[in-house]
Structure 1
Amino acid sequence: MSLPLLPPLPDLLQACAGRAEREFASALAEQGAADSWPVGFREDFRRVTAASDFVTEQLLRDPQLLLDEQFTGLLQRELAHAEMRSLLQACLADCPDEDDLGRRLRRFRNRQQLRIIWRDVTRQATLVETCRDLSDMADACIDLAYQWIYQRHIVQFGTPIGRHTGTPQHMVILGMGKLGAHELNLSSDIDLIFGYPEGGETEGVKRTLDNQEFFIRLGQRLIKALDAITVDGFVFRTDMRLRPYGSAGALALSFNALEQYYQDQGRDWERYAMIKARVVAGDQQAGAQLLEMLRPFVYRRYLDFSAIEALRAMKLLIQQEVRRKGMADNIKLGAGGIREVEFIAQVFQLIHGGRDLSLQQRSLLKVLGTLQAQGYMPATAVDDMRQGYEFLRYTEHALQAIGDRQTQMLPDNELDQARVACMLGFASWGEFHLELMQWRARIDRHFRHVIADPDEDEDEQAAGAAGLEWLPLWEEAVEPESAIQQLAEAGFDNAEAAFKRILDLKRGPQVRAMQRMGRGRLDAFIPRLLVQAAEHDDPDRVLERVMPLVERVVRRSAYLVLLSENPGALQRLIRLCAASPWISEQIARYPLLLDELLNEGRLFKPPLAPELAAELRERLARIPEDDLEQEMEALRHFKLAHRLRVAASEIAGSLPLMKVSDYLTWLAEAILEQVLALAWRQMVARHGTPRRVDGSLCNPDFIVVGYGKVGGIELGHGSDLDLVFIHDADSLAETDGAKPVDGAQFFARLGQRIIHLLTTQTTSGPLYEVDMRLRPSGASGLLVSSLAAFERYQESEAWTWEHQALVRARVLVGCPRVTAGFEAIRARVLGGERDLPKLREEVSEMRAKMRDNLGTRETAAGTAVNAFDAGQSFDLKQDAGGIVDIEFMVQYAVLAWSHRHPQLLRYTDNIRILDGLGELDLLPLEDVSLLQDAYRALRAVAHRQALQKQPGKVAADQLSAERGTVLRVWRELGLL
């Protein structure tokens, strides 16, 4: 945000500035530098010294500070990357002993503190720059002090050696809170945690030390170097209470001990603190490993909505402390303060961060940006919080600039009030205070919306949302007759069945085995469910479809908290489950999908193909390459989540049929891209890289071709994938790895690996069912064909029906060079001139066989005289006039006419091929439009049937006009 322009200094501050000016001139004169007044600095000098007693004190103690800063130009510019560290390194060069180390660190800190306050007060630095400089200064002081002490420490006590690795050990220093997020304020203390990779003993001295003792002593020396107050002040107040077991715990712990503690005893507030943890000093590489070890503690693999309860409890404790100590004027802890903005951001991080990797970041402002970009919060709310937070942080810096004191309390004296108002750009304290309270009110309103307990609101609407009128029924505090009557009056058609369903859940073994906390969550949830079910048009169906989900999640009651805390998510769950048993079954089988219900903007707006692929790449990039199980689960969760979003959008009407198929196809392509990459990486690691005919290495010279629905960009909700694998490598040449195999064997195993990754049943189900029967020679053929073998087969051995299938074939993922080769073969094969009577006969015969085997027997697959009778059924796909008839006509047209019109080969989907037939005047435009409408209508009904878990059949008297059109065009094309 932009602060108001700096106002003129009021009289009260003019007096402070004048006094500082006179005293500084006198101090210069005492040093014989009376003529050295900094040129052009007088106005800034007056403004800064009027605002900050600390700066004035530093300049009077050592006037040379300002002259040096002017000479080097550091007051007028930002520091470059790593320049803070370079400046301190120069300052510590040739440091002889620990006392001198402390002295040099403190003088460096005071000099930089003066510079940072100067630039902040004179508006030469942004909030981000000020926080970054302060954090960079802390990083440099901690790390360089550590490195200096470590070198002297090993001389005295020996080098610590890891018991298992046998390598020298360094300490890892984690910076927590604002330091970890590069958000230090002008007078922050620093919260640190000390760790080291592994136990062992020191070597190189007569009397060895245990590694833990070595690092504890080192840590004590480091804290003294930073924290002790001397005549030069301090470097940073250092707080170690965030370490395991707090003040009672060991000062330094091994990685194993840290992991064990957080796994077994880590508390919710420690997860909250660990969000911002960053390696600020010591062994950066080992530190990265430590943070990766601790990530599962912070970001739970599954949805973790129960985190809000812990944050709410923390906030309650803080509010009690604020009231007890009279800290309403504390801009950090009071209502609408900095802490509330932090809580809002971290609520979303703890709840969703395990799934949404974009939330796994430290910077508060960046997290707020993500909350807006990902639709977690409205843009207006995020803008309020961002601007309010920045105003509060500017105010915090103003408060602390006055005396270099760690305070967030608004001043109660006229001088400091004038200073704060002036630094923030206001002519008076009253104007500033009014603006401050407006921002705090906005922040507090958003905070209450996000984190406040929904049961705290006592108005009737909130009481209704909490379902208080249904609580006696759930607790069996009313007679069964009264309960059934209440359900009937609420709109349940079969109130007795509904009551039995509720009691079956309550008395079932799952609920009886619940712990106290989980049971409390269930008791809070069921009344809310009944409230919203009763508001639905069909409450009986709601209970029938939602209760199985409740039964599945009672042992993981965080999901119940999610739905209790988010009425909108519960509404969306009820809406989707009532609309589709397929969706209700999916959510019941995979409750982690409940996470998707929280964000309405994302739920009903699936991403486009590039965004899908990028999101999946980002998810997998965060997973260690050797963790196959987690990679497979990530792929499956990604598919489940996005498939739910597509289904929800289709039900809501925000996504038309053709777009549904587009999204489902893009989803399959994004997953196949990563599956191929994963399988390739594993195969190359095991066997090395196969070779091309010219001896060069493949990269990867392999493609995955999609046939059928995926090839035609027409996937449905439960579609399997018809795939063919092709390579263009030297089948005889061996790979270049430690366990070489020939090219043919390598690619056969690669194909097997891909199928394994796609079809393996995990806790989240398989990715896709895969059908490979369309490969050359079908089930008896090789799993992976060479490009040359594929070409030979298509040109000399393939049946007409295989060429029909090739019409809908396209490369989904793989090597661009081999893709071009495949497309050239496809064009030659499909573009060959054919004997049309023979072609019509073969297409008709194949269609007749399919109807005989797969169509409705009672109506001779829709060809009998009773095929349109109301009492009969119609198979949307296989009966005459159905989907397959349209597909066969399109395929026939491509095979018949593409030798004269190669543009028909450009697309693989029926709608666009039909467009081409109309544009080329091969079919009347009216017939093209009618066939396209019929195709869309048939597929739309098929999709609805799938979402209702119904077979792909409808009453035979439905869609009669569409079927009539299809049969007429079929006959006019001469097909039998």
Structure 2
Amino acid sequence: MTASDRSSSLTRLARLGFSRLAEADGLLTELSDATGVGRDMLCEHSPTAADPDAALIALERIVRRDPRALAPLGSDDDAWRALWALLGASTGFADFYVRHPEEIADIVVRGRYLPTGDELRETLLEAVDDEDGFAADGGEASWIALRVRYRRMLARIAAYDLLEPSAVDALPAVAAALADAAAAALEASLSVARTRVTRGGAGAGLFPREEVAATRLAVIGMGKTGARELNYVSDVDVIFVADADPEATVDPGESRVVDIATRLAVQLMRGISEVEVEPPLWEVDANLRPEGKQGALVRTLDSHLSYYERWAKSWEFQALLKARPIAGSRELGDAYVAAVQPKVWTSAARENFVDSVQRMRERVTEHIPAADVPYQIKLGPGGIRDIEFTVQLLQLVHGLTDEDIRQRGTLDALDALVAQGYIGRAEASAFSDHYRVLRVLEHRVQLRGLRRTHLMPAKPEDRRILARATGLASSGDAVWELWERTKRDVREIHVRLFYRPLLAAVASLPEEERVISPEQAHDRLAAIGFTDPAGALRHIGALTSGISRKVVIQRHLMPVMIRWFADGVDPDYGLLAFRRLSERLGDTPWFLRMLRDSSGAAESLTRVLSGSRYIGELMEWIPESAAWLDDEEQLVPRTGVALQQEARAIQTRHQTVDDAMRAVRALRRRELLRTAIAGMVGVATIEDVARSLTTITEVTIQAALRAVRREVVPPEDAELDFSVIAMGRFGGSELGFGSDADVLYVYRANGVDPERAGRLATRIVQELRRHSEDHRVPLDLDADLRPEGRSGPMVRSLDSYTEYYHRWSLSWEAQALLRARGAAGSVKLIRDFMALADEVRYPAAADPQGLREIKRIKARVENERLPQGVDPRRHLKLGPGSLSDVEWLVQMLQLQHAHRIPEMRTTSTMAALRAAEAAGIVAPSDAERLSSAWRLASRLRSANTLLSGQTSDVLPTDRVRLDGIGRLLEYPPRSATQVEEAYMGATRRARRVFEKLFYG
């Protein structure tokens, strides 16, 4: 061959799809020489191969084994096309033909058609020489013959599939044929099993032939096998049922029958799955039987029914939805299916049925190895399981009253759901198309090695081959893009379809076209978590009735939003709050646009409304806040500078204190709402929330003080200084939702008549407290930490504070000053007050008597201040190991050490604890335990307020409320016990540290 001829030959090979051109050229020459078939004939049909290079290598291996193996093909174009298609798509079939080159002849004689179920059954029974249910030979040779014949039939199915113009259109028929082939293989294996267990058979026979013949064993196909939608290589799920043949002349007795049937089942499974010279076909999986792996392999029909009646779980009825007799006694199999079907179609009425199905889907996803998730065609988000679970749940929920949707197959069920009006044609069509695409991808990756896999290929070359094998894309990159796009669409439709039937019943359809009654919709809502289904129905009706643009958009969104509400803590309140918000906003264009175009914002809206009455009530007053959910930047808590500028602008716009404070209260509510939402959706951390709440409170007090002072203090007394000192958690910048604002009030006359200055200061305090009141979100300015407590004057001059602290102050008052910080008013007065506070709270040497008094007071607080009847362990503020313990311990350490350790001179509990740890005063492990308990108690306290809209310091005992608090803290659903145990454990550990360091 000249260089020019060789170049031309290589060019032609490239056009035919080969990539390893030189190797292909050499192999073609070798094959032509070995077989006498011309090069052109050999490779004419190579374009039908997904991987022509692999197919050519396979041909060369086959010919090496048997030089005459290709002779039967002759010039039969159809046969050559089929062989190239099989070998180019499947190294598994290549290995099969290398082992059995004689099987290539079957490609020539069969023609292009799918074998029927009867043909498959007859062919495989013929392979084991079956006669009246018994194989001629019970030895391993029969198993080998069965497996070879099965793969012959599998090749027929695969060749049909690969050569069809559209693999997607061919999928239902191909999957059905694969299920029929599996059923036929089980029937043939059962025939061999009967011979093996018969006394005198080739195997370890134990029973007389007449007893074996009198034992009926029904093999029930489950899952994809039962639905006739099987894969090329998949576990075949089965259940075994046995009884005695009533027409037999011998009655072995029930126990004997179960014994014989069990041995038949074991041998049947071995014939399919045990390692032999010819590889196993697939795994026969009987783990869907009652009690799973722990249960008996075979039961009688009565035993099955007794189990399903008394002990079966919801998922077992979901599995039985696809049950179908596939081998053995058809009469017994039909009786089994007829007996269990009523239980299947009433299972949705079981308590927490939908919840259990959702949990099962979550568990499937959670068990996928993290590295496999992006490649999982079957189990991952947006994969085949999402479609199957959605369809099955819709069937089970509505199949209770509608027999027309009781279909085994996924595609058949989708068609029935459309025909009966439970889902729209557009969504069902898209779902159906995606399901076929995903199944074709799954089929082709399994064909590649004839092995069980559900993973998209990771290598670019393998993706290129997959694209050619499926015909779905032009390149490896394109098939990956198709996969990603399909996943996204499936995930979206999965959510939307789940609740579409409810929308169709309650909102979309005219009365005469409704396919389910209001009572059924009522039950559906109850099943998914609404405690007041009737009320929910009214809200849905109000939101989706009419023809306005808003109604049209909400009608479209409602199925999804119902799903999100149902996933929330309080679905009923969430739906009510959404209705109120929607009514307040009316036809506001941005709200409609956000609901329609931003699914993330709509989902976040349902989450915050169903998770927090605190937020829901504020949003009703500030409906425009819904827009923040469409822009994460708008949820970031605003800085103190920005809020101060707005508050000062308020003062310039409003002349009276009432008007100014009305605007300030609106500012405060708005920013509290912003912070609450930010905390719930994860934009703000617990530290961010505490700082934001502190800033909001400071700005509110500062604005109120400016407004009040302008009205109370006349110009001639303008020299009067007045300040507000933050104390407690306010002073520590550690406020939570519902926290009081602990404060001290101080003034300095600065030349104003002292008595008049006192009266003006008292008036400022009175007006400040009055105008800061907010009936919707209370702001309690609590001055109980002032000198002499509630017995002392509400406001003092700086001189009075100085004299008191130097002459009469008690240890607890020095302790209280540890968190004193200027919050509002005269900066110079604040600086002078803080200098006084430093003298008192950071003594050069701690007074031992004062420390003993602090310990005594702490013990008394624990005994006397806890509310009557409250379990101390559940009190988030005063309970053992909770906020009070950590704060008192840190404050005592500050009194002892802050004078010599400047880093401990801070109003922040956590900052002081970190400084004590850095100084070696507190061991790192002890500091961690204290910090963990303090942070958790703080978060629980705020979550308690957010959930209920009411302030409470007690961890609730009600499991629903406790679970709701857990959800706000990002625990998974149904985590009430986990939340409780986490808190009890954290405070128990913190209490041990507290007792060691505080009292020890």
**TM-score when normalising by structure 2:** 0.43
Kindly indicate which of the two structures has a greater share of residues assigned to helix: 2
Question: Structure with the greater relative contact order (CA < 8 A, sep ≥ 6): 1 or 2?
Answer: 1
The structure number with the bigger radius of gyration is 2
**TM-score when normalising by structure 1:** 0.44
